[in-house]
Structure 1
């Protein structure tokens, strides 16, 4: 992963190539500069060429006007999740946001992810997410099956494969208002990305967590804060991989957790099964 902080230092007039015939134009950018102590939005005028994305422009600003601008990026192909930021207030990947989606006279504002502490400029400390990842118990393989003996229906494979497309850009974590607007919730709430992981494991037909005494539905509710989620679908809306986080993971997990905890028939069945034998 690259956190870039240096450039060539050439003037703004020398940016990029292209001319008016190729669609080049001058765009106005506002980029947040600062660190944990505070900062402000600074204005830049920078050339834009056909086919460019926001990350290209951030790199051009860095190369020509602000050589110490810090920005995290890596693949520039929408697969590493490193260049997450907020563009005009919406969590996006900078490398996947084309300049053509903005009007030429529009001011494009780029700020760091709001839900996480700023390190410097557009770089944030996303360590919260790795802490939450470690709190989710991993897949428990069935004891009676050895390597190479696992068998699943294709329907089950397809269902969990959707969740495996996650690139951990943490845009869903950033946009979730439970985390974004309430810092105090972070200790009790894992966020949509990791509740999705719990849901994936809970619906996995080969996961043998129950044989070890682990109830994933109960832990989702009691340890990972599933009840905090009020299914606004904001996480789904910003997912660059198009994962239906709310409809296919969080709502089904909520339904199973509620059935387990509140359904009177399930409650009665549990009581009957636990009745001591003489």
Structure 2
């Protein structure tokens, strides 16, 4: 069974653009990405959209659907009323390249600045051993598909472009938390680095990043809040603070 549905899709580039109206055929069981592909095939062959797996695992097809950050391939058409107009726009936080495609290199720049996993110097690859409880502790964070919807919805950079140089965002905070929890990571300054260089203090835990995560990672509760708490413990607990001063462990490594 097919119906005709009203879509408004943003068309343009880095110099500007506008919402364009389309009437598109929609079939039962389809997702928004199916309709965008049909739109390309029938009415707008030059429409730019980024996608890859169409299974909610590559994170490529991030967009905003009726103002909410979503994956095009995981947003079913039956979520919307039969007479509802579906508006599809590029994610707002990153610069538009063309149509629904944005420049997300900000995220890769922040990832490159993240200190890598630092294994014990006295172990060779293949000799690493972890308890299952330690694996499970950070397994949740490894589910991230890097769709960057959490980065896009975070108001720290969504509403304040000037914060981008100093703020790495929730995607990077869960990476920092994962490494901080890793029993074989030799660095002991992940928390301080997140606070001093990645902008952890900018986050006021509104949980908007958690709400849009397609993998249902509890970004705020399980990564950001624990990292903030451990930073406070180290920085303001008098016993911990004195011990770090005595043993000169209060400097962020580079």
TM-score above 0.5, yes or no: yes
CA distance 1:208–1:27, change in 2 (3 Å): same
Q: Which residue of 1 aligns with 2:211?
A: 237
TM-score, structure 2 length as denominator?
0.95
Return the offset for 1:221.
0.4
Q: What is the alpha-carbon distance in structure 1 between the residues aligned to residue 5 and residue 168 of structure 2?
A: 39
Whether 1:79 and 2:52 are equivalent positions in the alignment is: no
Q: Write the distance in 1 (CA, Å) between the matches of 2:89 and 2:29.
A: 22
For residues 246 and 218 of structure 1, the distance between their equivalents in structure 2, rounded to whole angstroms, comes to: 18
| Matched position secondary structure for 2:50 | strand
Which of 223, 228, 252 does residue 197 from structure 2 map onto?
Answer: 223
Q: Does 1:35 align with 2:13?
A: yes
CA displacement at 1:226 relative to structure 2:
0.3
Deviating runs (4+, > 6 A) in structure 1?
none
2:200 & 2:14 partners in 1: Cα distance? 30
For 2:83, the equivalent position in structure 1 comes to 105
2:251 corresponds in structure 1 to none
Q: Secondary structure at the match of 2:133?
A: helix
Q: CA deviation at 1:272?
A: 4.2
Give the counterpart of 2:133 among 149, 155, 160.
155
Offset of residue 148 of structure 1? 2.1
What are the superposed Cα offsets for residues 74-110 of structure 1, whole Å, 9 maximum, x if unpaired? 1111111110000000100000000011011000000
Structure 1: distance between partners of 2:243 and 2:86: 58
Q: How far apart are 1:25 and its partner, in Å? A: 1.0
* SS of alignment partner, residue 34 of structure 1: strand
SS of alignment partner, residue 92 of structure 1: strand
For residues 256 and 154 of structure 1, the distance between their equivalents in structure 2, rounded to whole angstroms, comes to: 23
Q: Secondary structure at the match of 1:231?
A: coil
The aligned residue for residue 141 of structure 1 is: 119
The residue aligned with 1:5 is none
The answer to whether the aligner puts 1:93 opposite 2:67 as a matched pair is: no
Aligned-partner Cα distance in 2 for 1:170–1:236: 12
Could you say which residue in structure 2 is the equivalent of 1:270? 244
Return the alpha-carbon distance in structure 2 between the equivalents of residues 70 and 273 of structure 1.
56
Q: Calculate the TM-score normalised by the size of structure 1.
A: 0.87
Verify: 1:70 aligned to 2:48, yes or no: yes
Alignment of 1:112-261 (within 5 A): 112-210=90-188, 215-261=189-235
- Residue aligned with 1:209, SS: coil
Q: In 2, Cα distance between the equivalents of 1:59 and 1:169? A: 19
Question: Gaps spanning 5+ residues in structure 1: where?
Answer: 1-21
Take 2:95 and 2:31, find their aligned partners in 1: how far apart are those partners? 25
| Deviation, structure 1 residue 67 | 1.3
Instruction: Tell me how far apart the structure 2 counterparts of residues 26 and 256 of structure 1 sit (CA, whole Å).
Output: 54
Deviation at 1:33, TM superposition (A): 0.4
Alpha carbon RMSD of aligned pairs, Å?
1.0
Question: Radius of gyration: which is bigger?
Answer: 1
3-state secondary structure, aligned to 1:71? coil
